[in-house]
Amino acid sequence: MQIRLTGFTATAFGAGALAAGPAAAQTLDLTVTIPKLSVAEYHRPYVAMWLEKEGVAPRTIQIWYDVDKKGGEGTKWLRDVRQWWRTSGRSLSFPADGVSGATRAPGPQKLRLVGGRAGMPTLSPGNYTLIVEAAREVGGRELVRLPFAWNGNSATAAGKGSTELGGVSLTLKR
């Protein structure tokens, strides 16, 4: 079987991307804005975030869904976060440690991930893309892509969605 992953081969993210020492702890600060929508039936979106790097298998760093529904029922709609599901999600088991989280309310949602902890890999220098994908029950779906170059010291990137996502930004520091 050949799974097409937009040009990525199936190397583990950690193996190819791991940097040398644990001393150089990286912090990734993310802001993902979930827009307040005036709709008759509103459900918080499922939001997936993953990292892509050429030559390396994509790596999920966050997935927000109905993680607490009984019997794991919240996983039933993970496939609606369609591109994430195909790229990375379907090869995970749920809940995924340090990666699975509850859905979040409208407004700017901030989070800090530390390289080498939980689901966040330590990144070696290179060109990356962070992709944020949101899919909302009885609503739409949108992706925002944030390409960034990591030189080992600092990187920033920002983007904006127009329907299911507002502003999205990242700051990566060592």
Partner 1 sequence: MNLRMPLIAIGAVAALAAPAALAHRMWMIASSTSVSGTDNWVTVDAAVSNDLFFFDHQPIRVAPTVLQPDGTEGTVENHAVGKFRATFDVHLTQQGTYRIGVVNRGVFGSYQLNGERKMIPRGTTVDKLASVIPAGATDVQTAESVSRNEIYVTQGAPTTTVFKPTGKGIELVPVTHPNDLVVGEPATFQFLLDGKPAPDLFVTVIPGGIRYRDALKQQDLKTGADGKVSINWPDPGLYWVNVTPTRPREEGAGGPGMGAPGAGGPQGAGRPAGPPQRRVSYVTTVEVLAP
CB of 75 to partner 1, least distance (A): 4
Q: Which is nearer to partner 1, 28 or 66 (CB)?
A: 66
Is the bond into 95 cis (omega within 30 degrees of 0)? yes
Q: How far apart are CA 129 and CA 117, in angstroms?
A: 20
CB of 76 to partner 1, least distance (A): 5
Amino acid at the residue 48: A
Q: Which is nearer to partner 1, 30 or 66 (CB)?
A: 66
CB of 90 to partner 1, least distance (A): 4
Q: Which is nearer to partner 1, 58 or 115 (CB)?
A: 58
Question: Residue 134 in 3-state DSSP?
Answer: strand
Q: How far apart are CA 104 and CA 110, in angstroms?
A: 10
Q: Which is nearer to partner 1, 21 or 71 (CB)?
A: 71
Strand 27-34 vs strand 107-114: parallel, antiparallel, or unpaired?
antiparallel
CB of 77 to partner 1, least distance (A): 7
Q: Which residues bind partner 1 (CB under 8 A)?
A: 1-4, 71-73, 75-79, 82-83, 85-86, 89-91, 94
CB of 6 to partner 1, least distance (A): 9
Sheet holding 27-34, edge to edge: 107-114, 27-34, 167-173, 154-160
Q: Which of 153, 156, 154, 150 is nearest to 169 (CA)?
A: 156
Q: Which is nearer to partner 1, 85 or 150 (CB)?
A: 85
Amino acid at the residue 141: R
